[in-house]
């Protein structure tokens, strides 16, 4: 059996997240259905992580095993003609059987997009938020989240994950034209973590909470104390990083 790795881009607006769920349309479900039909073989597609309903991905990775020798160029042409326009398979690689798309990953990067001016073209792909935001305060608030910390206060209270320690290596904001962009990179993310962090930083920038209160939110380890979760439509998985030589560029 050969393990194949896919690099995927998708617009999650019309899907109930990545992971297959009963009676729901999901990214994973759509891709499994189309690849299984194309190869005439039922596949099990494993993703690099979950994304919530409505969340998008610029560079998402998933792997599957097959005993079929795949012609990459032909496969990419056929699968992208087969898939809906809101999902694309950008590349396919051969990887070692011990490679795991989720557990082999070192870092993951998300970006959150906030449009600060009404724009019909940005409405569906960002969070329209027209209150005045101070870029300096946004970045001051972001600094609290960098490092190895317990993110229990920024995880869905219904989460069954026991370990809520994450290592955030970068968290910062930039302003580009009429868009505020928040970028955060970590070794792992909890359910709803980026969206609740974003909402909390916005509260800090609007001076609804102080530095002292932000630290108290961390210490409380209770989701109810942090900011509101911003809408899914502004969130994008930008990249997943793996150890060098995990897969070969020759297989593009």
Q: Which residues are catalytic?
A: 52
Helices 27-39/72-82 angle, 10° precision: 120
Measure Cα distances from 130 to 17, 117, 141, 144, 249 in Å.
27, 6, 19, 24, 43
> What six digits make up the tokens of 19?
């992971």
Residues 154/222, Cβ–Cβ less than 8 Å: no
Q: Which residues contact 221 (CB under 8 A, 6 or more apart)?
A: 150, 152, 153, 164
Q: Which of 15, 52, 55 is nearest to 238 (CA)?
A: 55
3-class SS of residue 158: coil
Q: How distant is the alpha carbon of residue 151 from its chain centre?
A: 17
């Amino acid at each position: 059996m050969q393990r194949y790795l896919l690099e995927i881009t998708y617009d999650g607006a019309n899907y109930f997240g990545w992971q297959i769920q009963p009676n729901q349309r999901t990214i994973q479900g759509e891709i499994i259905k189309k690849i299984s039909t194309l190869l005439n073989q039922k596949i099990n597609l494993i993703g690099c992580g979950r994304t919530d309903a409505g969340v998008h991905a610029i560079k998402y990775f998933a792997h599957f095993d097959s005993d079929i020798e795949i012609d990459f160029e032909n496969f990419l042409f056929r699968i992208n003609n087969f898939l809906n326009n809101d999902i694309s398979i950008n590349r396919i690689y051969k990887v070692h059987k011990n490679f795991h798309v989720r557990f082999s990953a070192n870092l993951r990067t998300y970006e959150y997009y906030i449009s600060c001016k009404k724009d019909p073209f940005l409405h569906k792909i960002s969070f329209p938020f027209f209150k005045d935001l101070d870029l300096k305060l946004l970045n001051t608030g972001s600094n609290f989240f960098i490092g190895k910390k317990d993110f229990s206060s920024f995880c869905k209270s219904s989460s069954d994950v026991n370990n809520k320690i994450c290592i955030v290596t970068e968290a910062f904001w930039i302003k580009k034209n009429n868009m505020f962009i928040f970028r955060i990179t970590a070794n792992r993310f909890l359910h709803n973590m980026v969206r609740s962090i974003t909402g909390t930083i916005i509260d800090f920038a609007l001076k609804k909470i102080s530095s002292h209160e932000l630290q108290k939110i961390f210490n409380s380890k209770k989701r109810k104390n942090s900011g509101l979760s911003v809408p899914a439509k502004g969130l994008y998985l930008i990249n997943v990083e793996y150890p060098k030589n995990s897969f070969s560029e020759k297989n593009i």
